[in-house]
Amino acid sequence: MINIPKGTKDVLPSESYKWHYIENTVREVARLFGANEVRTPTFEHTELFLRGVGDTTDIVNKEMYTFEDKGNRSITLKPEGTAGVARAFIENSLFNAPQPTKMYYITPVFRYERPQAGRLREHHQFGVEFYGSFAPQADVEVMSLAKSIFAKLGIKDLQLNINSIGCKSCRKDYNKALKDYFSSKIDKMCSTCKDRLDKNPLRILDCKEETCKAIVKDAPSTIDYLCDDCKSHHESVCKGLTSIGLDYVVNPRIVRGLDYYTRTVFEFISTGIGAQGTVCGGGRYNDLVEQVGGKSTPAVGFGMGIERLIMVLESLGLSFGEPYAPEVYIAPMCEEAKDIALVIANNLRANGISAEFDIMDRSFKAQMKYADKLSANFVAIIGEDELKADKVAIKNMKTGEQESVERDKLVEFIQSKK
């Protein structure tokens, strides 16, 4: 037997309705905010992620699925969604359209890491990308969009953590302060962070090693090193969140794990999955489009894992709606009724009514048990008497009531019961 690769998961028919519920919800909320869907390839040229995500990040250094294709080109399965959207924004000249450009995506992403609860080597992300605006109100809007999704799903145990990591200008002073702080502690740091100290000390703040996390606790705060423009932007974001009643906490340790972020970064953290966990993360990335070959364009957005959302909803006992159940199950009682069952099912479906009929040669008793297992609302029974009279016997599976309905009036009958 060939088993599924480690870190991947099948979504079975009995579970897929949960995915549909999440996907329909995020699409509906994105539409309310004026965002349209963008779909980018599952793989991109590796250079896109080296330039966009950053060669000092764990994603690039440890987690990417990279290979050479038959043309000896380095190709990478996308480890996140934003870089591909930035490439699409440039390549398809979306910057020529009236701004802002508001986009969302639902996509698989691939990271070679230790599989754990809510995190797989192939998982799925919903993400939002707003291009073209420097305004702090755009930052607030994407955070509001994320909160609206959580509210619609019924997730309440959330805390919004925000921070500002500044821009190229003020980042220089902050990086110097970090180097000064970490230099005296380098002997206690992990080998990866020792390498980061000269290349990109900001990445040390995102280290998951316990020894480094302990050192980071007393590191200088990004907020204390913001230039006047970044400070003003951060204050306006905070003011905007307050104005719409979106509670937040300023957390100076949030830097996010990707190099393209500038100014605002944020995370929605939930305690509904057994331990604190980030269910959504994002921020502003004003330099990304330029880094991957386009003209300087401000942008802000976020990503959230669909598997993790499902896990949170399950842990909180929240509803995913109802799994699929046919409105009508057609049960032929004799050989002559099987073709009639096929015709009836086809007619019901053509009129927007979900229908199934026996294709397994079950006995009538077994058909009724199967219809009950499917949670069908009605069973249309066709026996010899019904064949002669051009009728069906309709049984309401919830009430047990049964009545005779003319075959050509069946659609009208079912529609009247909705």
pLDDT digits (tens, 9 = 90+) for 71-108: 999 999 999 999 999 999 999 999 999 999 999 999 99
Taking residues 381-385, report their average pLDDT: 94
Q: What is the pLDDT of residue 210?
A: 83
CA distances from 374 to 244, 328, 352 (A): 45, 10, 18
Residue 329 has pLDDT above 80, yes or no: yes
SS3 call for 151: helix
Q: What is the pLDDT of residues 264-313, one digit of tens each?
A: 999 999 865 544 578 899 999 999 999 999 999 999 999 999 998 998 89
Q: Residue 228's pLDDT band (boundaries 50, 70, 90)?
A: very high
Beta 402-406 vs 391-396: how paired, if at all?
Answer: antiparallel
Q: What is the pLDDT of residue 193?
A: 85
Q: What is the pLDDT of residue 56?
A: 61
Taking residues 155-171, report their average pLDDT: 90
Taking residues 52-60, report their average pLDDT: 71
Residue 257 has pLDDT above 70, yes or no: no
Phi and psi torsions of 371, nearest 5°: -60, -40
Residue 316 has pLDDT above 70, yes or no: yes
Going across the sheet that includes 101-110, the strands are 36-37, 101-110, 122-131, 299-305, 277-284, 262-270, 158-164, 249-250
Say what percent of the chain tops pLDDT 90: 69
Burial of 261 (0-12, 13-18, 19+ CB in 10 A): buried
Q: What is the pLDDT of residue 397?
A: 95
Most confident by average pLDDT, 189-193, 273-277, 371-375: 371-375
pLDDT: which is higher, 246 or 204: 246
Cβ contacts of residue 276 below 8 Å, gap of 6+? 269, 270
Average model confidence (pLDDT) for the chain? Answer: 91
Residue 369 has pLDDT above 90, yes or no: yes
- How many angstroms separate the CA atoms of 395 and 200, rounded? 70
Phi and psi torsions of 338, nearest 5°: -65, -45
Residue 68 has pLDDT above 80, yes or no: yes
**Residues 355, 330: contact at Cβ < 8 Å?**
yes
Q: Residue 377's pLDDT band (boundaries 50, 70, 90)?
A: very high
Residue 405 has pLDDT above 90, yes or no: yes
The DSSP call for residue 281 is E
**Residues 327, 410: contact at Cβ < 8 Å?**
no
**Residues 163, 147: contact at Cβ < 8 Å?**
no
Q: How many CA atoms lie within 13 A of 69 on its CB side?
A: 10
Phi and psi torsions of 110, nearest 5°: -130, 125
Taking residues 343-371, report their average pLDDT: 95
* Residue 176 one-letter amino acid: K
Q: Residue 118's pLDDT band (boundaries 50, 70, 90)?
A: low
Q: Which of 6-20, 220-234, 257-271 has the lowest mean pLDDT?
A: 257-271
Can the peptide bond before residue 13 be classed as cis, meaning omega within 30 degrees of 0? no
Taking residues 146-160, report their average pLDDT: 93
Q: What is the pLDDT of residue 272?
A: 57
Q: Residue 256's pLDDT band (boundaries 50, 70, 90)?
A: confident
Whole-structure pTM value: 0.89
Taking residues 147-173, report their average pLDDT: 91
Q: Which of 17-26, 31-40, 186-195 has the lowest mean pLDDT?
A: 186-195
Beta 36-37 vs 402-406: how paired, if at all?
Answer: unpaired
Taking residues 249-267, report their average pLDDT: 86
Taking residues 1-26, report their average pLDDT: 94
Q: What is the pLDDT of residue 344?
A: 96
